[in-house]
Amino acid sequence: MQFQMFWLVLSVVCVVWYSTITVYVAIKGFWDIKSMLERLAAPDDENAVNR
Amino acid sequence: MSHFSWPIDGGIIGLYLLATMAAGIGVRRYVGKVEHFLVAGREMNLYLGIASLAATEFGIVTCMYTAQNGFEKGFAGATPGILQAVAMFVIGITGFCVKPLRDSGVMTIPELFEKRFGPNVRWLAGVVIVLGGLLNMGVFLRTGGEFLLLVCGFESGYISGTHYLEIVMTILLLSVMTYTILGGMLSVLVTDFLQFIVMSLGLIIVTVLIFKDVGWTKMMDAVQTHYGAGGFNPFANPDMGVSYVVFNLLLQTAATLTWQTTIQRVLAAKDTDTGRKVYTRTAFFFVCRFMIPALWGVAALAMLVPEQYGGNTLYAMPVFLGQFLPVGVMGILIAAMLAADMSTDSSYMIAWAGVIYNDIMSPFRRRAHTEKEGLFWSRFIVATIGVFLMFWGLWYKLEGDLWTYLGVTGTIYLSSMSTLLIACCYWKRANDWGAFGAILAGALIPVGFLILGLMPATKPLAKSIGPYYSGIAAYASAAVAMVIGSLLKPSGTKG
């Protein structure tokens, strides 16, 4: 019974955590891509200064 | 009978493919150097890293064997996911090996080995990594194709009688090759991000529908009826037990430390802290990675009779989903699985290309390549890997059991490389003698076990040893060989 409860809780936590993290990573990841491409588009000497 | 509808589900899939290709090809103009191509100029930030790692480490093949685990072992089949999450979290939080690795500024693990063990070990490590990795990847395309066709309602006998699978997966592979060759790691990261969203959407929707329409009680009852306590507790399962848990803990720890596609996210991170955070914050995803498909497998166990999946437990989950999901959701599932497969394929191609270019080819270069030459060769290698996969993994039909194949090819590489990495980072006496010994011992045990299992005279012996004890022995012997080899070498000897 304890093990059955463990798997039930783990299954629910997985779905809830995964749903939340998907939305969060989708928003934050978009800005990561934007800033990554901006840094790569900058000339080399400017890149070095930024780092 | 599958509920796949060409106008609705096909439209969703078409839209996804169009968006992926546009994004993948669109970033090619940012690639000006080899470093951009192989590690995205080391400009990857935390959340992009999380999305990319999650998308890469979940392919259709993962979904298939984890669902098979759920079908054959019940909820206990999700145990390797918990072990991997623990390993990843501990490694991320402590920085064990990944901190010195990222701090060193190398692009691949063998490059780090050269600093400690010399160029010969770097070259040999590169060969072992590429061989193990590519042979492992060899089964991805065919398994992925089988899933897609079964979900769409093709019967397994029909699949083997036509070339539908080969044609569909060749087109898919060519699409992935196109954007990976043009944009390298940058395209991989951007498409991984898109693929993470689509894949996650599909995984969540399907799981919620299963909870709602199949129901927890029915799934629990099915596991209890078929497997009793062993379906919930790996230690009570006669097919699992302590050896299964120990072997999987070693396997998942070694994979987290040295699997090229996983470690590449640490190497591409903008700094060491970001790399470590990618690990700690992605760790729980690896529980989901096993748990969600295992739930699908358990649902298939509750809903299907053996005649419906032809007795092949690998096919049970896709057959079940094909009958269970409504029109529209079917399109989302297939787009999600295509996303999962494409992200895995592209990341694997760029990861192994990095090792081939950086570690295997480097001793043969008479002079340093210009950026233009480096880019040409990197792209050429990605294309060659793609062609290899097309013939080895798709047109050449592999025989034997999928999990054994993955386990053996993975252990050949993981046992020795994890030993070398740990010794390289933390043991001052480690040297090239020990490194060569570890590579040899790590490969001999799994290959020897495979040969024992193939010969009629020694087959019973192999069966009595079992794959888990043989796997544990491979890790132990690689470590012992590293210690003995290093201690045997007279001090003061070069290398």
Split at pLDDT 50, 70, 90, the class of B120 is: very high
Q: State pLDDT tens for residues B238-274.
A: 989 999 999 999 999 999 999 888 898 888 888 899 9
A8 touches chain B (CB under 8 A): yes
Which of A3, A10, A41 is opposite residue B291, by nearest beta carbon?
Answer: A10
In this complex, the residue of B40, B41, B51 whose CB is nearest that of residue A29 is B51
**Taking CB atoms and an 8 Å limit, are A29 and B193 in contact across chains?**
yes
Give this complex's ipTM. Answer: 0.86
Best to test chain B binding among A36, A37, A47, A50 (most B CBs inside 10 Å): A36
A37–B contact, CB cutoff 8 A: yes
d(CA B54, CA B292): 14
pTM over the 0.80 mark: yes
The DSSP code for B363 is G
Rounded to the nearest angstrom, the minimum Cα separation between B286 and chain A is 10
Separation of alpha carbons B132 and B462, rounded Å: 22
User: How many residues does this entry show for chain A?
Assistant: 51
- Cβ neighbours of residue B341 under 8 Å, at least 6 residues apart? B59, B60, B61, B140, B144, B172
Contact between chains at A40 and B43 (C-beta distance less than 8 A): yes
Chain A: residue nearest B45 by CA?
A32
Give the tens place of pLDDT for each residue, B166-209: 888 888 899 999 999 999 989 999 999 998 999 999 999 999 99
pLDDT tens-digit map of A5-50? 999 999 999 999 999 999 999 999 999 999 999 988 887 654 443 3
CA distance B197 to B465: 43
Structure tokens at B463: 């069966």
The residue-averaged pLDDT of B320-342 equals 89
**Residue among B169, B140, B196 at smallest CA distance from B348:** B140
Cα separation, B74 vs B67, in Å, equals 9
A28 shares contact with chain B (CB less than 8 Å): yes
Q: Tell whether A46 is within 8 A of chain B (Cβ).
A: no
Taking the CA of residue A19 and the nearest CA in chain B, the distance in Å comes to 7
Nearest-CA distance B390 → chain A (Å): 31
Q: Which two tokens stand for residue B90?
A: 């501990």
> How many residues does the structure list for chain B?
495
The neighbour count for residue B2, using CB atoms within 10 Å, is 19
Say if the Cβ atoms of A32 and B229 lie within 8 Å. Answer: no
Q: Which of B200, B233, B291 sits opposite A11 (nearest CB)?
A: B291
Interface test with A, best of B43, B207, B227, B282 (most A CBs within 10 A): B43
Mean pLDDT, residues B360-374 = 85
- Give the mean pLDDT of B51-75: 90
HSE-CB of A29 using CA atoms within 13 angstroms: 25
Q: What is the rounded CA–CA span in Å between residue B402 and residue B494?
A: 43
Q: Identify the top-confidence range among B85-89, B354-358, B460-464.
A: B85-89
Q: Are B305 and B284 in contact (CB under 8 A)?
A: no
**Whether residue B342 has pLDDT greater than 60:** yes
Residue B160's pLDDT band, with cuts at 50, 70 and 90, is low
CA angle B49, B14, B339 (to 5 degrees): 25
* A26 vs B: CB within 8 A: yes
The answer to whether the CB atoms of B287 and A29 lie below 8 A apart is no
- The Cα of B51 is separated from the nearest Cα of chain A by a number of Å equal to 7
Higher pLDDT, B479 or B493: B479
